[in-house]
C-alpha cells in the first residue's frame, strides 16, 4: 500500500519519508494526439487540444471565458476521473488565459466538472452492494448446507481504496476494453458466477458517447496542440547518506578566539540570511525534482503541494498559536516548534449542495513549458529545422513574450478543489442525471 504523506507542514526535509511510493498520481505528456477518435473521446485525458464533453447538452461557451478579459481561454488539461463508487461518469476541464494583462488576476484560471449518469455501472454497483448485504446476513441454523469455501481463507471481499483506479484514473485505454467507463472489479464473484456474469457486465459498462463538436462554436476556440496525458505513481527515492571524510576538520565559529573575527562574522551573517530563504519553495522544487517532467498532480482528498510561502500557503497551512516561553531559575522550558496543519476552512463550500470542497489536483510549472514548446514546434515545424534555426525560433518566441499585449502564463501552481459529494443537481436543487459545475481554483503565482 502506498505510504501516506503527513498533512502537517514542516520546514525540515528530514521529516519527508524517502524510499516510498505515495498516494499521488503524476500526469506527464505522452506524445501528440493525432487520432480523430481519441480527440473526440471524452475518456481520453489530454494536455491542450479541444475539449470532448461528457454531458449530452453542450456546455455554455462562457465556461471557457476569462473573467478578466472575457476572451475565450485555451484548454490546459482535460482529465477522465470518475469516483470509483459513484454511478456518475466524470471528467474535469481546466482552462487558462495566457494574456499578460490577466496574469495574477482571479478568474484567469477556471475548472469545471462534467457528470453524466451511467445506468450500466449503477446496476453493477447495486449488485455488488446486494452481495455485500447478503454476506452480512446471519445464517439460518435450521439449514444444514455444506460450506462452499474455507471460512478461514484470505479470499474474502477486497475493499478498494477511496479512489483506487490506479493507473486507469486518467483513462489509459486498453485494446480489449476500448469503451469501458468505470473500472470494474468483481472480486466478490465465485468462479461459477464470473463465468456467467463477467462477460455481460463487461459489455454493459460502457462509456457515454461524448458530444460531437461538429458545427459548434467550440471548434473556433483557440487551442494548444493536443497531447496525451499519461500517469505514473509518485516515488520518492531513498536519500543518500552524506559521508564526512575522516580527515575533515569541523570548526565552530562560536569558539573563535578573536583572531579570526572576520570569518566568524561572515559565517553568522550567512546563517541569518538563510532565514530569508523560502523553505516552502525549496521543498516544492525538491519534491517535484524527483519527477521533473510532471505537469499534473492528482490526489483526491489529499494534501496539495504548496509552491511558495504566500497568502495561499498561509490560508491552507495556517500557523498554530505559539506558546510563550517560560523562564525559571533552574533553566529554560522551551516549547517544541508547532507544526502547521493542512486545513480547507478557507475554501468556499460547493455552491450547489453547500458541501465541503476537497483538494483534487494541481497544475505544475512544467505544464507551461510543455504548452509553450508545443506552440513553438507547431509554428516552426522544429523537426525540419537545424539547431541554429531552432534556437532562433525559441529566441523569437521569448522576444514576442516581452512585447505589450503578449501572451504567457506566469503561475507557479494551480490547485483545484472539488465538491466532496460529487453532487449533480439541477437548477431546482433536485438530483439530475447530468450536470456541468464550476469548481474552486487557488493559484500561487510565480514571483
pLDDT (tens digit per residue) in 50-60: 999 988 888 99
- At 408 the pLDDT is 85
- At 200 the pLDDT is 39
- At 163 the pLDDT is 33
- The DSSP 8-state label assigned to residue 382 in this structure reads G
Mean pLDDT for the chain?
Answer: 75
Q: List beta partners, residue 72.
A: 65
Residue 377 placed within a domain: yes
Residue in 227, 94, 82, 233 with CA at minimum distance from that of residue 169: 82
Residue 291 placed within a domain: yes
Residues sharing a CB contact under 8 Å with residue 225, sequence separation 6 or more, in sequence order: 32, 48, 49, 374, 375, 377, 378
Which one is predicted more confidently, 129 or 423? Answer: 423
Instruction: Say if residue 96's pLDDT is above 60.
Output: yes
Instruction: Say if residue 116's pLDDT is above 90.
Output: yes
CA distance 297 to 307: 13
Which one is predicted more confidently, 361 or 333? Answer: 361
Residue 175 placed within a domain: no
Q: How confident is the model at residue 271 (pLDDT cuts 50, 70, 90)?
A: very low
Cβ–Cβ under 8 Å, residues 307 and 444:
yes
* Domain, as residue range, for 284: 20-129+211-232+274-319+338-444
Residue 186 placed within a domain: no
Instruction: Say if residue 375's pLDDT is above 50.
Output: yes
CA distance 36 to 73: 22
- At 84 the pLDDT is 85
- At 373 the pLDDT is 86
For the stretch 277-304, pLDDT in tens is: 689 999 999 999 999 999 999 999 999 9
Does this model's pTM top 0.85? no
Q: How confident is the model at residue 167 (pLDDT cuts 50, 70, 90)?
A: very low
Q: How confident is the model at residue 182 (pLDDT cuts 50, 70, 90)?
A: low
Which one is predicted more confidently, 241 or 135? Answer: 135
Residue 289 placed within a domain: yes
For the stretch 54-95, pLDDT in tens is: 888 889 999 999 999 999 999 999 999 999 889 999 999 999
- At 446 the pLDDT is 87
Instruction: Say if residue 400's pLDDT is above 70.
Output: no
- At 242 the pLDDT is 63
Instruction: Say if residue 351's pLDDT is above 80.
Output: yes
Among 29-38, 45-54, 245-254, the range scoring the smallest mean pLDDT is 245-254
Which one is predicted more confidently, 383 or 235? Answer: 235
Residue 57 placed within a domain: yes
- At 339 the pLDDT is 83
Query: What 3-state class would DSSP assign to 333?
Result: strand
Q: How confident is the model at residue 386 (pLDDT cuts 50, 70, 90)?
A: low
- At 205 the pLDDT is 38
Q: How many domains does the chain have?
A: 1
CA distance 306 to 443: 10
CA distance 62 to 242: 55
For 287, the grid coordinates are 519534491
Residue 8 placed within a domain: no
Residue 440 placed within a domain: yes
CA distance 37 to 57: 20
Which one is predicted more confidently, 347 or 259? Answer: 347
CB-CB neighbours of 248 under 10 Å: 7
Residues 179-209 as b or e (16 or more Cβ within 10 Å = b)? ebbbbbebebbeeeeeeeeeeebeeebbbbe
Which one is predicted more confidently, 395 or 261? Answer: 395
Q: List beta partners, residue 95.
A: 75, 110
Amino acid at each position: 500500500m502506498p505510504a501516506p504523506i503527513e498533512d502537517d507542514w514542516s520546514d525540515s526535509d528530514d521529516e519527508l519519508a524517502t524510499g516510498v511510493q505515495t498516494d499521488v498520481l503524476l500526469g506527464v505528456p505522452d506524445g501528440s494526439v493525432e487520432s480523430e477518435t481519441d480527440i473526440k473521446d471524452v475518456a481520453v485525458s489530454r494536455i491542450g487540444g479541444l475539449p470532448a464533453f461528457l454531458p449530452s447538452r453542450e456546455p455554455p461557451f462562457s465556461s471557457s471565458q476569462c473573467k478578466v478579459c472575457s476572451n475565450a481561454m485555451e484548454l490546459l488539461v482535460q482529465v477522465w476521473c470518475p469516483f470509483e463508487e459513484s454511478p456518475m461518469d466524470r471528467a474535469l476541464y481546466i482552462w487558462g488565459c495566457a494574456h499578460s494583462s490577466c496574469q495574477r488576476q482571479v478568474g484567469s484560471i477556471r475548472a469545471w466538472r462534467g457528470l453524466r449518469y451511467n445506468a450500466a455501472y449503477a446496476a453493477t454497483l447495486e449488485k455488488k452492494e446486494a452481495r455485500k448485504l447478503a454476506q452480512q446476513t446471519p445464517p439460518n441454523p435450521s439449514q444444514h448446507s455444506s460450506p462452499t469455501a474455507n471460512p478461514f481463507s484470505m479470499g474474502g471481499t477486497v475493499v478498494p481504496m477511496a479512489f483506487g483506479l490506479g493507473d486507469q484514473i486518467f483513462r489509459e485505454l486498453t485494446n480489449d476494453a476500448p469503451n469501458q467507463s468505470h473500472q470494474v472489479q468483481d472480486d466478490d464473484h465465485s468462479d461459477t458466477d464470473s463465468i456467467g456474469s463477467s462477460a455481460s457486465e463487461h459489455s454493459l459498462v460502457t462509456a457515454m458517447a461524448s458530444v460531437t463538436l461538429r458545427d459548434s462554436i467550440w471548434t473556433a476556440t483557440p487551442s494548444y496542440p493536443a497531447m496525451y496525458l499519461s500517469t505514473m505513481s509518485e516515488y520518492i527515492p531513498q536519500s543518500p547518506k552524506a559521508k564526512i571524510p575522516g580527515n575533515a576538520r569541523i570548526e565552530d565559529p562560536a569558539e573563535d578566539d578573536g583572531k579570526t573575527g572576520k570569518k566568524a562574522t561572515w559565517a553568522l551573517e550567512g546563517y541569518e540570511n538563510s532565514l530569508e530563504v523560502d523553505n516552502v519553495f525549496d521543498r516544492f522544487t525538491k519534491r517535484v525534482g524527483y519527477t521533473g517532467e510532471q505537469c499534473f498532480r492528482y490526489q483526491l482528498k489529499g494534501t496539495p503541494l504548496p509552491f511558495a510561502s504566500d497568502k495561499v500557503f498561509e490560508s491552507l497551512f495556517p500557523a498554530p498559536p505559539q506558546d510563550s516561553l517560560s523562564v525559571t531559575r533552574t533553566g529554560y522550558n522551551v516549547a517544541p516548534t508547532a507544526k502547521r496543519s493542512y486545513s480547507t476552512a478557507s475554501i468556499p463550500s460547493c455552491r450547489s449542495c453547500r458541501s465541503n470542497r476537497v483538494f483534487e489536483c494541481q497544475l505544475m510549472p512544467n505544464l507551461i513549458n510543455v504548452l509553450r514548446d508545443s506552440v513553438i514546434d507547431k509554428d516552426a515545424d522544429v523537426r525540419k529545422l537545424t539547431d541554429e534555426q531552432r534556437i532562433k525560433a525559441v529566441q523569437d518566441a521569448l522576444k514576442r513574450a516581452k512585447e505589450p499585449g503578449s501572451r504567457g502564463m506566469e503561475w507557479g501552481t494551480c490547485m483545484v478543489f472539488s465538491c466532496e459529494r460529487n453532487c449533480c443537481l439541477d437548477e431546482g436543487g433536485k438530483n439530475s442525471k447530468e450536470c456541468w459545475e464550476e469548481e474552486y481554483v487557488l493559484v500561487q503565482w510565480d514571483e
